[in-house]
């Protein structure tokens, strides 16, 4: 499979996973969204050189991944795919921030190492939480949830279209590359061939997007994302889920839970 076909497969896989029937899948989309949003905000709010304080937060993505029955390998593979950008910044920290920060006997650990570890940990936590949010709630139900509020309706429509048209763009690109590869005798795309392909690719994508738009308009679409079924009500479970996690995240942010736990394990020596 080509890179494009893999990307398309991944998108389909996320939607398939979102159709699960676990406790996490049955949560109100708003509960899932709020818990994830608070989590990402708390993770981002930690200072640059914080590592141990972030550790207890691993519980949240681990909890959702396990309870939602999401394949760990799939999530880790997706994390790797989007990691190069963050790895670049982490490496830059390693090389450019050399001031000593932590002392182990005669050795000093440079600040760059700590900030790189913190950056990678925050990236891992945030992206895995976001992935499990999409893989348990689904993107379109989330758009439908947003569309319940008049204020967010245009935003929901734009998100929905970006999502659908990204599918379409990937499908067209994958077809074009497959058609090229079938007749290219095993060699990849040359730079000068990109110029010939980009025009037909854009035109085909536009034509299909136009057809899709016409199909929507023909069925009464007027620019507003439609909501399917009666609005889902919040249940006690949803409220309990959001409030429990919010309390835990705030606690983890205000109290060094790792140090506290370490102290308890070591018999209150700290």
Partner 1 sequence: MSHHIIEVEDLKYSYPDGTEALRDLSFRITHGESVALIGANGAGKSTLLLHLAGLLFPQTGRVRLGGITVTRKNILQIRRRVGLVFQDPDDQLFMPTVFEEVAFAPVNMGVPPDEVKELVNSVLEQVGVSHLRPRPPYRLSHGEKRAVALAAVLAGLPDVLLLDEPSAGLDPRARRQLIELLRGFTHTKIVATHDLDLAWELCPRTIILAAGTVAAEGPSREILGDEKLLRCCGLELPLRLQGGPLVGTTRE
| Tokens, residue 261 | 């736990």
Residues in binding contact with partner 1, number by CB under 8 A: 26
Distance CA 66, CA 129 (A): 12
Instruction: List the x/- string, 155-194, binding to partner 1 by CB under 8 A.
Output: ---------x------------------------------
Q: Pick the binder of partner 1 from 1, 3, 16, 255 (CB under 8 A).
A: 16
Among 270, 231, 244, 192, which Cα is nearest to 64's? 244
Smallest distance, partner 1 to C-beta of residue 215, A: 4
Residue 225 Cβ vs partner 1, minimum distance, rounded to whole Å: 10
Is residue 212 within the footprint of partner 1 (CB under 8 A)? yes
- Residue owning tokens 């795309």: 189
* DSSP type of residue 256: -
Q: What is the Cβ-side half-sphere exposure of residue 167, based on CA atoms within 13 angstroms?
A: 16
What is the C-alpha separation between 135 and 16, in angstroms, rounded?
Answer: 8
Contact code string over 222-241 relative to partner 1, x by CB under 8 A: x---xxxxx-----------
In the structure encoding, which two tokens stand for residue 168, read together?
Answer: 């379409």
Q: How far is the CB of 167 from partner 1 (least distance, A)?
A: 8
Interface residues with partner 1 (CB under 8 A)?
A: 12, 15-16, 18-19, 138-140, 164, 208, 211-212, 214-222, 226-230
């Amino acid at each position: 499979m080509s890179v494009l076909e893999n990307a398309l497969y991944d998108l389909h896989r996320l939607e398939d996973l979102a159709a699960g029937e676990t406790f996490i899948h049955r949560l109100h989309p708003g509960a899932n969204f709020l818990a994830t949003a608070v989590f990402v905000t708390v993770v981002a709010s930690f200072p640059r050189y914080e590592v141990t304080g972030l550790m207890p937060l691993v519980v949240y993505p681990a909890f959702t991944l396990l309870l939602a029955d999401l394949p760990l390998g799939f999530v880790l593979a997706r994390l790797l795919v989007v990691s190069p950008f963050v790895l670049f910044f982490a490496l830059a920290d390693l090389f450019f921030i050399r001031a000593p920060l932590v002392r182990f006997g005669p050795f000093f650990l440079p600040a760059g190492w700590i900030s790189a570890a913190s950056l990678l940990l925050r990236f891992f936590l945030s992206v895995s939480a976001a992935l499990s949010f999409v893989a348990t709630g689904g993107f379109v139900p989330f758009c439908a949830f947003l569309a319940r509020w008049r204020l967010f309706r245009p935003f929901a429509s734009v998100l929905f279209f970006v999502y659908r048209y990204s599918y379409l763009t990937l499908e067209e690109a994958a077809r074009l590359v497959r058609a090229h590869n079938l007749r290219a005798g095993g060699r990849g795309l040359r730079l000068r061939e990109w110029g010939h392909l980009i025009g037909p690719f854009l035109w085909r994508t536009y034509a299909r997007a136009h057809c899709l738009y016409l199909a929507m308009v023909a069925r009464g679409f007027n620019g507003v994302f439609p909501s399917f079924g009666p609005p889902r009500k919040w249940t006690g479970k949803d409220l309990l889920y959001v409030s429990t996690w919010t309390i835990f995240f705030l606690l983890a942010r205000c109290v060094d839970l790792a140090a506290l736990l370490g102290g308890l394990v070591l018999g209150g020596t700290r």
